[in-house]
Amino acid sequence: MKYIFLFALSITIIAAIITFVLGPIIQGNVYFSSGIFPNGTAIPKDLLSCKKDSDCFAGECCHARFCVNSIGKPDCEGVFCTQECRNGTLDCDYGSCVCVNGRCTAKFVQGASKNQ
């Protein structure tokens, strides 16, 4: 009986890893929804709530690494950014802002590389 439980538990863990870790990688997209600013502080929930993808925007003017809703959208008027494409950012179509489970989330394309 003990071995049957351990076997079932092992199958459950393997299925979870395949579903939540390998699945997005195999599909070519990885979602990062940590809810954390780059400085390590939590993003307030009122800045993340959304109903559709168009509710979400880059959370930084240059080389954005996270997404927020219109309340948290930065004013980028007059801000000039470098023209480089940085991995781990929304630069150069490496990622986009989407609404996942009611939260603005950065969707990054794995293995994206563009020379610009």
How much of the chain exceeds pLDDT 90, in percent?
Answer: 24
Collapsing DSSP states into helix, strand and coil, what is residue 11? helix
**With 50 as the cut, is the pLDDT of residue 22 above it?**
no
Q: Is the dihedral of CA 86, 87, 92, 96 positive or negative?
A: negative
In this prediction, residues 34-63 reach a mean pLDDT of: 85
32 token code pair: 């990062």
d(CA 31, CA 24): 8
101-111 per-position pLDDT tens digit = 999 988 887 65
pLDDT higher at 52 or 93: 52
In this prediction, residues 11-20 reach a mean pLDDT of: 51
Collapsing DSSP states into helix, strand and coil, what is residue 23? helix
pLDDT at 110: 64
pTM of the model: 0.64
- Is residue 18 packed enough to be buried (19+ CB in 10 Å), middle (13-18) or exposed (0-12)? exposed
76 token code pair: 């980028």
